[in-house]
Amino acid sequence: MSHEHLSPKVSPQDALKFFRSIVGESNVLTDPSDLKVWGTDWTKVFEPKPMCIVKPASTKEVSTLLAYCDSNNLAVTPSGGRTGLCAGAVASAGEVVINLSRMNKILDVDTVGLTVTAEAGVTTEALQEAAKAQSLFFPLDLASKGSCQIGGNIATNAGGVKLIRYGGTREQVLGIEVVLANGEVLDMNVALRKNNSGYDLKHLFIGSEGTLGIVTKAVLRLVPKPRNLQIAIMATDNFTKIPQILTRASLAGVSITAFEFFTEVAHRIVLKHLPGARTPFQDIAPFYVLLEVEQPGLEPEIETLLEKLFEDGLITDAAIAANSVQFKEFWGLRENITESLAAHGQVLKNDISLAIDKLDDFVKALEELLASKNPKNMDLVLFGHIGDGNLHINYVSPKSRDSREFQLEARAIEEDVFKLLSKFKGSISAEHGIGLTKKKDLHFTRTAAEVAWMKKTKAMFDPKGILNPGKIFDI
């Protein structure tokens, strides 16, 4: 168990009675099928075994629930849209899952200060729509946006496809309200763009994966809506050329809003599993780059850039979306990779990052490493937010393969990949987080001193260790 340090002072029956008295009978779930669904995330590796699922409707209810769990030594797993990819929201040892889905109100859109205030259970897509209704733009964008929640985005410091232009979640957060383990409500909601008055504590909670507090509210930055977005997919014959394409696009002065990449295998798998998917290319290329640019007026034309890249041998083919339907189709080829992989086979996902100028050498070393391992019955599928130095490495085997055997083989390779990565001074998680799946690998990215200070910080905010025990590190 990940929370053996806690000896509950109440029986599950008494705890359930209390929870029902706070959130109402129908908002405490104990049915085994509900526990299975709500006690896990996208990873599906660990068997969910929560005590119950509790769905509060207000900060006050979250506070009352946490104060009770803290004084009775009950472990709590905060839960949002459960799209996490590192088992951060998995409750596999009798935890009380506190799910924020009912706290889904958008409280204010400020069109002068360009901010939106929302409860943590609002989905990313709902926030985007609220911004759009005011002709504004919420720049956090990820393929899971229809399900993931603002609280989950903050807890994971989610990245997404627009980070290259607007930054990740951390850059969008102006203020948050958090409930601490003992039920204390910490209001860090003063949403000023400039505020140099002492420590900016909110940053400790961004990316803390539910281990320091439960985020209940946030004020987030909005930006003017990008105008005249254009998208192109380019084919190239060598990974080496991808960082060069990025440099050329930056130097040409085009206003990049996304720079993504995927391999031929990823492309093929999406074409197989995504209904209606179409490729703009007749010939197969080993690598593809998706470039989105904003072109409202006087910026250099994307066509001119593509012509130059073609002339200079950096790309072998390219297609620019001719209309809004094709625009969506092109994005679909990139955004549906994760879901298509899940439909295709068993997947172990890595989500690494490194300096862009080291990417090429790293990928060469990675290919050599895998060739030396010669894994049986396993494909390596690469894609990612390459403009941010973020590479998603996916080890994929057929569903028919024994899952334990697959996990053992993929994990062994993963460990070697992380060793290689640490030589390149990269990170084992660019955006998905550590959760349960990468806890044992934290040392590849963080020094012992850093982990020790993380543990001290945890002890300060959550002295009993009731919040998401066993995630990121053991205490």
Chain contacts with ligand FAD (rule: CB under 6 A): 41-42, 77-85, 88-89, 100, 120, 142-144, 148-149, 151-153, 155-156, 158-160, 209-210, 214-215, 338-339, 431-432, 435, 468, 471
> Smallest distance, Å, CB 81 to ligand FAD?
3
Q: Which is nearer to ligand FAD, 206 or 309 (CB)?
A: 206
Residue 229, number of CB atoms within 10 A of its CB: 17
Q: Which is nearer to ligand FAD, 209 or 409 (CB)?
A: 209
Among 384, 366, 348, residue whose Cα is nearest residue 421: 366
Find out whether 3 and 461 touch, Cβ atoms under 8 Å. no
> Smallest distance, Å, CB 299 to ligand FAD?
26
> Smallest distance, Å, CB 182 to ligand FAD?
15
Among 209, 229, 228, 224, residue whose Cα is nearest residue 169: 209
Encoding tokens for residue 433? Answer: 């987080």
Q: Which is nearer to ligand FAD, 117 or 153 (CB)?
A: 153
The helix (run of H) or strand (run of E) holding residue 305 is helix 302-311
> Smallest distance, Å, CB 343 to ligand FAD?
11
Q: Which is nearer to ligand FAD, 131 or 143 (CB)?
A: 143
Instruction: Measure the CA–CA gap between 221 and 139, rounded to whole angstroms.
Output: 8
Instruction: Measure the CA–CA gap between 380 and 430, rounded to whole angstroms.
Output: 19
Instruction: Measure the CA–CA gap between 281 and 269, rounded to whole angstroms.
Output: 15
> Smallest distance, Å, CB 467 to ligand FAD?
8
| Beta bridge partner(s), residue 380 | 395
> Smallest distance, Å, CB 82 to ligand FAD?
4
Q: Which is nearer to ligand FAD, 320 or 467 (CB)?
A: 467
Q: Which is nearer to ligand FAD, 226 or 384 (CB)?
A: 384
Among 432, 426, 470, residue whose Cα is nearest residue 445: 426
Residue 473, number of CB atoms within 10 A of its CB: 17
Instruction: Measure the CA–CA gap between 234 and 162, rounded to whole angstroms.
Output: 18
> Smallest distance, Å, CB 179 to ligand FAD?
9
> Smallest distance, Å, CB 158 to ligand FAD?
4
- At residue 214, φ and ψ (nearest 5 deg) are -105, 120
Q: Which is nearer to ligand FAD, 246 or 305 (CB)?
A: 246
| Position with the least CB separation from ligand FAD | 152
Instruction: Measure the CA–CA gap between 81 and 147, rounded to whole angstroms.
Output: 5
Find out whether 444 and 428 touch, Cβ atoms under 8 Å. yes
Q: Which is nearer to ligand FAD, 155 or 309 (CB)?
A: 155
